[in-house]
Chains A and B, each alone.
Chain A
Amino acid sequence: MNDVRDLVTCRRRTGLVWAALLVCSGLMAFAQTKNSCLDCHSNLPEPLGVSVETYSQNIHAQKGLTCAACHGGNADSDDPEKAMSRATGWKGKIERKQIPELCASCHADAERMKKYNPGLRVDQFQQYKTSVHGIKWAKGDSKVAVCTDCHGVHDLRAPSDPRSNVHPTNIATTCSRCHADAEYMKPYGIKTDQFANYQQSVHHDAMMVRGDLSAPTCTTCHGNHGATPPGVANVTNVCSNCHVFQAQLFETSPHKDAFAAMGFPGCVTCHSNHAIKHPTDEMVGTGPKAVCTKCHTEGDAGFMQADAMHNQLADLASANAASEELLGRVERQGMEVGQAKLQAAQARDALLKARVTVHAFRDSELKRDTDAGLAVARQTHVAGEKALEEWRFRRVGLGLSLVMIAFTLVGLGLYIRNLEQK
Chain B
Amino acid sequence: MASPVASVRDWFHERFPLDDLIALAQKKKVPVHRYSYWYFLGGMTLFLFGVQVLTGGLLLMYYRPGADEAFESVQFIMTQVQFGWLVRSVHSWSANLLVFMAFAHLFSVLFLRSYRKPRELTWVSGILLLFLMLGFGFSGYLLPWNTLSYFATKVGTEIPAQIPIIGRPVMLFLRGGEDITGSTLTRLYGFHVAILPAVATLLIGVHLALIQWFGMSVPPGIEERWQAHPAEKKEIRFFPNFVLRELMAWYVALGLLGALAALFPWGLGVKADPFASAPAGIKPEWYFLSMFQTLKLIPAKILGLDGEMLGILAFGVIGAAALLLPFLDQEKPFNTRRWIPGLACVFLGYMAAMTVYGWVAK
Q: Is the interface of B mostly helix, strand, loop or mixed?
A: helix
What A residues does B255 contact at CB under 8 A?
A: 401-402, 405-406
What A residues does B258 contact at CB under 8 A?
A: 398, 401-402, 405
Closest A residue to B74 by beta carbon equals A336
What B residues does A398 contact at CB under 8 A?
A: 258-259, 262-263
- If A336-B79, A416-B241 touch, does A409 touch B248 (CB 8 Å cutoff)? yes
B357 located at the interface, meaning its Cβ lies under 8 Å from any Cβ of chain A in the complex: no
B254 located at the interface, meaning its Cβ lies under 8 Å from any Cβ of chain A in the complex: yes
Closest B residue to A383 by beta carbon equals B79
A295 located at the interface, meaning its Cβ lies under 8 Å from any Cβ of chain B in the complex: no
What A residues does B254 contact at CB under 8 A?
A: 405
Q: Which of B241-268 contact A (CB under 8 A)?
A: 241, 244-245, 247-248, 251-252, 254-255, 258-259, 262-265, 267-268
A413 located at the interface, meaning its Cβ lies under 8 Å from any Cβ of chain B in the complex: yes
- If A334-B264, A398-B258 touch, does A408 touch B251 (CB 8 Å cutoff)? yes
Closest Cβ–Cβ distance, residue B38 to chain A (whole Å): 19
A11 located at the interface, meaning its Cβ lies under 8 Å from any Cβ of chain B in the complex: no
Alpha-carbon gap, A398 to B261, bound state (A): 9
- If A336-B79, A336-B268, A338-B268 touch, does A416 touch B244 (CB 8 Å cutoff)? yes
Q: Which of A338, A405, A406, A419 has the most CB of B within 10 A?
A: A338
Query: CB distance A420 to B241 under 8 Å?
Result: yes
Query: CB distance A412 to B251 under 8 Å?
Result: yes
Closest B residue to A393 by beta carbon equals B262
What B residues does A395 contact at CB under 8 A?
A: 262
- A336 interface neighbour in B75, B240, B241, B251, Cβ under 8 Å: B75
- If A339-B79, A398-B259 touch, does A412 touch B248 (CB 8 Å cutoff)? yes
Alpha-carbon gap, A413 to B245, bound state (A): 8
A18 located at the interface, meaning its Cβ lies under 8 Å from any Cβ of chain B in the complex: no
Query: CB distance B78 to A336 under 8 Å?
Result: yes
Closest B residue to A416 by beta carbon equals B244
Query: CB distance B262 to A397 under 8 Å?
Result: yes
Query: CB distance B251 to A339 under 8 Å?
Result: no
Alpha-carbon gap, A420 to B237, bound state (A): 10
Q: Which of A339, A394, A397, A409 has the most CB of B within 10 A?
A: A394
Query: CB distance A419 to B252 under 8 Å?
Result: no
B47 located at the interface, meaning its Cβ lies under 8 Å from any Cβ of chain A in the complex: no
Query: CB distance B251 to A334 under 8 Å?
Result: no
Provide the A407-421 mask, 1 if CB < 8 A to any CB of B, else 0: 011001101100110
What A residues does B75 contact at CB under 8 A?
A: 336, 338-339
A268 located at the interface, meaning its Cβ lies under 8 Å from any Cβ of chain B in the complex: no
A335 located at the interface, meaning its Cβ lies under 8 Å from any Cβ of chain B in the complex: yes
Interface size of B by Cβ–Cβ distance < 8 Å? 25
What B residues does A397 contact at CB under 8 A?
A: 262
Closest B residue to A338 by beta carbon equals B75
Q: Which of B240, B252, B255, B270 has the most CB of A within 10 A?
A: B255
Closest Cβ–Cβ distance, residue A51 to chain B (whole Å): 41
Alpha-carbon gap, A273 to B255, bound state (A): 66
Provide the A259-284 mask, 1 if CB < 8 A to any CB of B, else 0: 00000000000000000000000000
Q: Which of A317-349 contact B (CB under 8 A)?
A: 334-336, 338-339
Query: CB distance B244 to A412 under 8 Å?
Result: yes
Closest A residue to B266 by beta carbon equals A334
Closest Cβ–Cβ distance, residue B35 to chain A (whole Å): 20
B85 located at the interface, meaning its Cβ lies under 8 Å from any Cβ of chain A in the complex: yes
Alpha-carbon gap, A406 to B258, bound state (A): 13
Closest A residue to B77 by beta carbon equals A336
Query: CB distance A336 to B85 under 8 Å?
Result: yes
Alpha-carbon gap, A402 to B268, bound state (A): 26
Alpha-carbon gap, A415 to B252, bound state (A): 17
Q: Which of B80-114 contact A (CB under 8 A)?
A: 85-86
Alpha-carbon gap, A359 to B270, bound state (A): 36
What B residues does A401 contact at CB under 8 A?
A: 255, 258
Alpha-carbon gap, A398 to B254, bound state (A): 11
Query: CB distance B240 to A419 under 8 Å?
Result: yes
Q: Which of A334, A412, A413 has the most CB of B within 10 A?
A: A334
Q: Which of B166-192 contact A (CB under 8 A)?
A: none
What A residues does B267 contact at CB under 8 A?
A: 334, 336
Closest Cβ–Cβ distance, residue A338 to chain B (whole Å): 6
Query: CB distance B248 to A334 under 8 Å?
Result: no
- If A336-B85, A412-B251 touch, does A419 touch B241 (CB 8 Å cutoff)? yes
Alpha-carbon gap, A338 to B247, bound state (A): 39
Alpha-carbon gap, A412 to B245, bound state (A): 8
Closest Cβ–Cβ distance, residue B239 to chain A (whole Å): 11
Q: Which of B261-304 contact A (CB under 8 A)?
A: 262-265, 267-268, 270
Query: CB distance B262 to A394 under 8 Å?
Result: yes
Query: CB distance A409 to B252 under 8 Å?
Result: yes
Provide the A141-177 mask, 1 if CB < 8 A to any CB of B, else 0: 0000000000000000000000000000000000000
Query: CB distance B248 to A413 under 8 Å?
Result: yes
Alpha-carbon gap, A402 to B258, bound state (A): 8
Alpha-carbon gap, A409 to B252, bound state (A): 8
Q: Which of A367-420 contact B (CB under 8 A)?
A: 394-395, 397-398, 401-402, 405-406, 408-409, 412-413, 415-416, 419-420
Closest Cβ–Cβ distance, residue A176 to chain B (whole Å): 37
Alpha-carbon gap, A413 to B248, bound state (A): 8
What A residues does B251 contact at CB under 8 A?
A: 405, 408-409, 412
Alpha-carbon gap, A401 to B86, bound state (A): 13
Closest Cβ–Cβ distance, residue A408 to chain B (whole Å): 6
Closest A residue to B254 by beta carbon equals A405
Closest B residue to A402 by beta carbon equals B255
Closest A residue to B252 by beta carbon equals A409
Closest Cβ–Cβ distance, residue A413 to chain B (whole Å): 7
Provide the A238-278 mask, 1 if CB < 8 A to any CB of B, else 0: 00000000000000000000000000000000000000000
Closest A residue to B262 by beta carbon equals A398
Alpha-carbon gap, A394 to B265, bound state (A): 10
What B residues does A402 contact at CB under 8 A?
A: 255, 258-259
Sample of 4 more A-B contacts, CB < 8 Å, known A395-B262, A419-B241: A412-B251, A415-B244, A416-B245, A419-B244
Q: What would be 6 A-B contacts, judged by CB atoms less than 8 Å apart?
A: A334-B264, A336-B267, A401-B255, A402-B258, A405-B252, A420-B241
Q: Which 6 A-B pairs have the closest CB atoms?
A: A398-B262, A334-B265, A405-B255, A336-B78, A394-B262, A412-B248
